[in-house]
Structure 1
Amino acid sequence: MKTLTLIVLTLVMLTPFQKSMAQAEKKQQGAVLNHIAVYVTDLAKSTAFYKDVFDLEIIPEPFKDGKHTWFSIGPAGHLHLIQGAKAGVEHDKNEHLCFSVPSVDKFITLLNVKKIEFEDWAGTRKAVTLRVDGIKQVYFKDPDGHWLEVNDDHK
């Protein structure tokens, strides 16, 4: 009788664990970012810009047609530059790519050396935004006028 009671008690205790395991198995992984594509007018100029400013690694691209550059952007995936955009398109600051760096102050030094104008969110030249959570941000444009943010939310 003691053995039967022990078996029943063990089964009762394992039931919630089995239900939670079944629920965990049913839940599928959500989507993950594969790449971001940026349409550019001058592939060589934009490739040099992203490589030099962000120290991105160029990776092989499958098309080999001279119209694409692919960069690794770490666990987030890839950045694809694609030749063919029309010049003179105005881009809104709300639509931007953001890169995190260990030090915004050191990054600003790089921007100054490369003579790249930057501003805070409000548009004040050479200024830094300080978010309410203490993260520093600066904004600037790539050669095609796409807005870029750099912050120090580096983890």
Structure 2
Amino acid sequence: MLSFLLNHIALSVKNVDESVAFYKKVLHLKEIKNTASNSKTRWLSLGEGKQLHLIPRPNLEIKTNKAVHFALSTPTLVDFVKHLESLEIDYSDWTNTVNKDYVRKDGIQQFYFQDLDGYWIEVNNA
């Protein structure tokens, strides 16, 4: 039987410096050393050994939709919503109702917002 654990998420970004600043400010992620290469790719810690790799691709057109997203969980969802509002970052439910969350059939509360390159991020209280 095969077994896997999540190691990292990699995103192509237009401006790596601005994206690093966004993820630090919005998600309070800490930058860590890129141990794989001397490239301009920058790494952020997602905790528990998991990482977010931001790969600079200034000339690449980035296309995505809400079905392509990554999800983070927090027990302090209400506090995080207040944080987003203080940063004037809109969030929405799955059907794009602005500044509204959604409670799934299993009772998990969730919402979505976008980063600077249009990637969707789900935050829930799973």
TM-score, structure 1 length as denominator?
0.74
* Pairing of 1:32-111 with structure 2 (within 5 A): 32-62=5-35, 63-65=37-39, 67-75=40-48, 77-86=50-59, 89-111=62-84
* Fraction of identical pairs, as percent: 37
1:117 maps to 90
Cα distance in 1 for partners of 2:20, 2:53 equals: 10
Compare the two structures and name the one with the higher helix fraction.
1
The aligned counterpart of 1:10 is: none
Q: Which residue of 2 aligns with 1:22?
A: none
Distance 2:7 2:108 in 1: 26
Q: Which has more strand, going by share of residues?
A: 2
CA RMSD of aligned residues (A): 1.7
TM-score scaled by length of structure 2: 0.90
Aligned CA distance change for structure 1 residues 150 and 125 (closer, same or farther; 3 Å): same
Q: Where do 1:3-18 residues align within 5 Å?
A: none
User: Structure 2 vs 1, CA of residues 85 and 30 (structure 1 numbering), >3 Å: closer, same or farther?
Assistant: farther
For residues 64-118 of structure 1, the C-alpha deviation after alignment (integer angstroms, 9 at most, x for no partner) is: 33x2111111226211011015465331101101111112211110111111111
Corresponding residue of 1:130: 103
Larger Rg: 1 or 2?
1
User: What residue ranges of structure 2 are gaps of 5+ in the alignment?
Assistant: none
The residue type paired with residue 70 of structure 1 is W
Report 1 or 2 for greater relative contact order, CA contacts < 8 Å, sequence distance ≥ 6: 2
C-alpha separation in 1, matches of 2:63 and 2:90: 17
The alignment partner of 1:124 has SS state of coil
